[in-house]
Amino acid sequence: MIHPKSVLLVRQQKARGELPKEDWMKELEAMRTLQNVGGHPSVVRLLEDFEENGAVFIVMEFCNGGEMFDMLGNLGNQQQWNPKVIFRKYMEGVLFLHSMDICHRDLSLENTLYHSDYGPKICDFGGCIPYDVRGIDGGLVMRDNKGRDQHVHRVGKQFYMSPQILNHQQYDGKCTDIWSCGVFLFLLMTSHPPWEYAHLTHDTSGAFRTYIQGGPEAFKQLVHEWNLLHYFEEPCWELLMLLLQPEEQHRCTAIDALDHAWLKEGKDDEDRVMKMVEKGEGGEVKTASSIMWTCTTWESMTCNQQSRLRYLFDMSNRHGSEYPPLMRALDSTALRSGWTNDQLTAALHQMNGTGTKENQQRCSVS
């Protein structure tokens, strides 16, 4: 419930052209947008919202596990808490947000709820913004009509802030989310943050300085000295380093993360594995697996498949066909779907012809 005084204050501030520090209107608008396209199981669902006696009520699905930050002690119980499965579902939620051009900017264990029947559900969209391919000016300060700071470049929580935000640099909202996902993964695996701040001078632990000046191997040695390295399989560590690339242009995308070997291992629920059995010359039985999407229309796709195509469509429109992340994603999606690159390109062209994202829901991708 948003208290009537808070409701009135935010509306008055917006009417004066000010930027409220806590904007429940922006959060509600983002949740409505996500729910209008069907939502995603890894994002907390908006059930309804209404106003009564001056207060605004936002009704969301109940998550019986509470905040994931409070559940880190369950890491040892692998039957109920499988970090790989949790992080895969989490990244599927991030891909869904990014495919809808929403940058959360405050991704964290604290802003992720847990449901025992499913797993992680991203929540708290108070800091989200629409994606802008030109980036966000990290030094921007908005002021109210009395000259007071209303919004500064720093968004997110101490452990999760990207180097660009902490250095007052222009930053990409989606890349900022991916950095936070890397810190999320480190915490998920070890119950400890990798550093206090992703900043050479602010971080008194010295861990970030070790990472930047000594490189990934020096940081890996430091994690070993902390007696935390044993929590990471080598493929998991590789993915962590892709998420925590200091320079945005080298940081992976949500699709890159989901296509990484560590997260792909053992996953065949949506990208169905069809078994083909044939007899060899000696009569022995041979089996081969081919991965294919069985859907023929947009409506028949899973939400993860829709997110992937929507994200490909956006990358193609914004960066062109030679954009390296797009080329990687096209190749990996062709492997997942069983479609050729030409079929994928045709599907994206069909999406392009429909215009708005709302219309993209109804396009055929056969």
What local confidence, expressed as pLDDT, does residue 153 receive? 61
- Specify whether the CB–CB gap between 113 and 121 falls below 8 A: yes
Residues 6+ apart with CB under 8 A from 220: 229, 237
Mapped onto helix, strand or coil, the DSSP state of residue 262 is helix
> DSSP string of 288-356?
EEEEE----BGGGS-HHHHHHHHHHHHHHHHH-TT-HHHHHHHHHHHHHH---HHHHHHHHHHHHHH-S
- Greater confidence (291 vs 329) lies with 329
CATH superfamily of 63-264: Transferase(Phosphotransferase) domain 1 (1.10.510.10)
Beta partners for residue 285, in sequence order? 279
- Greater confidence (258 vs 353) lies with 258
Beta partners for residue 115, in sequence order? 119
Buried-state track 311-336, b at ≥16 Cβ within 10 A, e below 16: bbbbbbeeeeeeeebbeebbebbbeb
pLDDT band at 285 (very low <50, low <70, confident <90, very high): low
Is the pLDDT assigned to residue 195 strictly greater than 90? yes
Beta partners for residue 60, in sequence order? 46
- Specify whether the CB–CB gap between 320 and 334 falls below 8 A: no
The closest of 155, 152, 154, 150 to 19, measured between CA atoms, is 150
Neighbours of 224 (CB within 10 A): 11
- Greater confidence (365 vs 68) lies with 68
| C-alpha dist (Å) from residue 290 to 179, 269, 294, 342 | 33, 13, 12, 18
Choose the catalytic residue: 106, 256, 259, 271: 106
State the average pLDDT over residues 111-116.
93
Write out the H or E segment, with its range, that includes residue 286: strand 285-292
What local confidence, expressed as pLDDT, does residue 168 receive? 86
What local confidence, expressed as pLDDT, does residue 275 receive? 43
Percentage of the chain exceeding pLDDT 70: 81
Instruction: Answer yes or no: 144 catalytic.
Output: no
Is the pLDDT assigned to residue 15 strictly greater than 70? yes
19-33, 183-197, 215-229: range with lowest mean pLDDT? 19-33
68-77, 130-139, 167-176: range with lowest mean pLDDT? 68-77
pLDDT band at 344 (very low <50, low <70, confident <90, very high): confident
- Specify whether the CB–CB gap between 263 and 256 falls below 8 A: no
Look up residue 79 and give its DSSP letter: T
Which pTM does this prediction carry? Answer: 0.86
- Specify whether the CB–CB gap between 174 and 105 falls below 8 A: no
Neighbours of 6 (CB within 10 A): 16
Domain ranges of the chain: 63-264, 273-360
Percentage of the chain exceeding pLDDT 90: 51
Beta partners for residue 113, in sequence order? 67, 121
d(C-alpha 261, C-alpha 115), whole Å: 26
Beta partners for residue 279, in sequence order? 285
